Amino acid sequence: MLLAIDMGNTQTGLGLFDGDALAYAWRMPTDRSFTADELHVRLLGYLHMYGLSLDCIDTVAFAGVVPQLSREWEQAARRITERTIAVGSATAQVTKLRAPNPAEVGADRIANAVAAETCYGAPAIVVDFGTATNIDVVDEDGYYIGGAIAPGLRISMDALVARAARIASIPLDVPERAIGRTTTEAVQSGAILGTAAMVEGLVARIRRELEAPEACVIATGGLAGLVANATDAFDVVDQQLTLKGIAEIARRMGMFESAE
C-alpha cells in the first residue's frame, strides 16, 4: 500500500491507498516541533485504529510546504521503507508545469494540478481552502500554468478578531442572507459569503482568460465543504484531491501500481 502525506502549513493529511482506492485517511496538526520519533508514533497510532501495522506500507510519497518538517517526515518514512519520494524536483519529469520559475510552485499545487487532470480532465481550476486560499489553473493540455493566492478564511477571521476590539470569536457558519442583522451574521456574511464571492469572481475571470467557459472547477481543502454551501461555483468538491495527486505522481514514477 502507498502512504501519501500532504503537509500543509496548518494541517497534515495522510492517505493510505490500496491500488486506486483511498482506503483510509487521517488529518493531524502540522506542528513544526514534531520530530521523526513523534511522527512515527502518531502514524503507528492511526494504523492501529484500523488493526493495521507498518508492514502494510511499501511506498511513502509526500508533498510538503514546511521544509524542516519535511525532513522529519522523510526520516520517519525511511524507517518504514526505502521506497520514498517527495513531490518536487525529483518528480519533475512526470509533472507538467508551464511556469517561469517551476521551483517556486508549491508541491501541493503540483499535486492538485496532476489530480485535477487525472480525475476530472483539462482544463480545470482547483480552489484549495487551507491556510491560504490557493487557486490552481490547469490548461487544456494538462499543464499547471499558475493561479492566485489569497489569505485563507481562518487567517482572515483570526486577524479580524485580533484587531477589532468589539468582535469576539465567531463560529464559521454560512449565514442565511448577505445582509447580516447582527454582528455575528455580518461577520459571517463578510467572511464566508465574501470568500465565496471572491472565488466566483476569480473563477469567472480565469475561465475568460483560458477561453474555457466550461472548465471544471474543483474545491478541496479543509473548508471546501463550508464554502461550497455558499456558492454554486464548484462542479466538484473533492476533499482528498491533493492526496490523490501525490499518489498519481508516485504511480507515474513507477513506485506504485494501480489496481488492475
Distance CA 115, CA 122 (A): 10
Q: Is residue 45 part of a domain?
A: yes
Q: Is residue 260 part of a domain?
A: no
Q: Is residue 258 part of a domain?
A: no
**How many CB atoms are located within 10 Å of the residue 112 CB?**
32
Annotated binding-site positions for K(+): 128
* 13 and 73 together in one domain: yes
Annotated binding-site positions: 6-13, 106-109, 128, 131, 183
Number of domains observed in the structure of the chain: 2
Query: What are φ and ψ of residue 91, in 5° steps?
Result: -115, 10
Confidence of residue 158 (pLDDT cuts 50, 70, 90): confident
Cα 11 to the chain's mean position, in Å?
10
* 230 and 248 together in one domain: no
Distance CA 188, CA 210 (A): 32
Residue-wise pLDDT tens digits, 165-221? 778 778 889 999 999 999 999 999 999 999 999 999 999 999 999 999 999 999 999
* 83 and 157 together in one domain: no
* 65 and 26 together in one domain: yes
* 109 and 202 together in one domain: yes
Q: Which sequence positions are flagged as catalytic?
A: 108
Three-state DSSP class for 84?
strand
CB 246 within 8 A of CB 230: no
The sheet carrying 216-221 orders its strands as: 144-151, 132-138, 124-129, 216-221, 236-237
Check pLDDT > 80 for residue 104: yes
* 112 and 192 together in one domain: yes
Q: Is residue 259 part of a domain?
A: no
Q: What is the mean pLDDT of residues 67-80?
A: 90
DSSP state of 239: T
CATH (domain of 8): 3.30.420.40
Annotated binding-site positions for substrate: 106-109, 183
**What pLDDT score was predicted for residue 169?**
79
pTM: 0.92
**How many CB atoms are located within 10 Å of the residue 109 CB?**
27
* 27 and 124 together in one domain: no
* 7 and 126 together in one domain: no
Say what percent of the chain tops pLDDT 70. 99
* 66 and 137 together in one domain: no
Distance CA 247, CA 69 (A): 20
Q: Is residue 40 part of a domain?
A: yes
* 80 and 151 together in one domain: no
Residue-wise pLDDT tens digits, 129-149? 998 999 999 999 999 999 999
**Residue 29 belongs to domain spanning:** 2-92+244-252
Q: What is the mean pLDDT of residues 89-118?
A: 93
Q: Is residue 34 part of a domain?
A: yes
Q: Is residue 184 part of a domain?
A: yes
